[in-house]
Amino acid sequence: MNEVMQIIETYRPEKEYSFSQMVYDTLTDELTDEFALPEVENAYAQGSRCERLYNETIRMCWDISKRLNGNDVDTHPDVQLIMDNMLEIQKILCLKMFHYGMSFGKK
């Protein structure tokens, strides 16, 4: 399996990468309606499970930051780093899953 991943990383066409980034950005509500892909759902749409989980996570981050900082003005740097890292992990996994799907779908 590691060999497949190396091939995907080495020979992934830029066009395919750009498309997967657009899918990811549409899925995670990073694009305006003008640029979002209409055939891809916004996983963070109002009332969706992702939106509820994300809002709960953000609320908990602010609560933890408030206890650590003693104020509710700033997010504690460690809490912010945890959130940033988890979002980056999510992005890496999503893009890899997309490319695996593209690779296996071509077989």
Task: Please write the tens of the pLDDT for every residue from 34-77.
Answer: 989 999 999 999 999 999 999 999 999 999 999 998 888 889 99
Query: Residue 43 is which amino acid?
Result: A
Asked if 98 contacts 19 with a C-beta cutoff of 8 angstroms, the reply is: no
* Cα–Cα distance for residue pair 72/56, rounded to 1 Å: 16
Please give the share of the chain, as a percent, with pLDDT higher than 90. 56
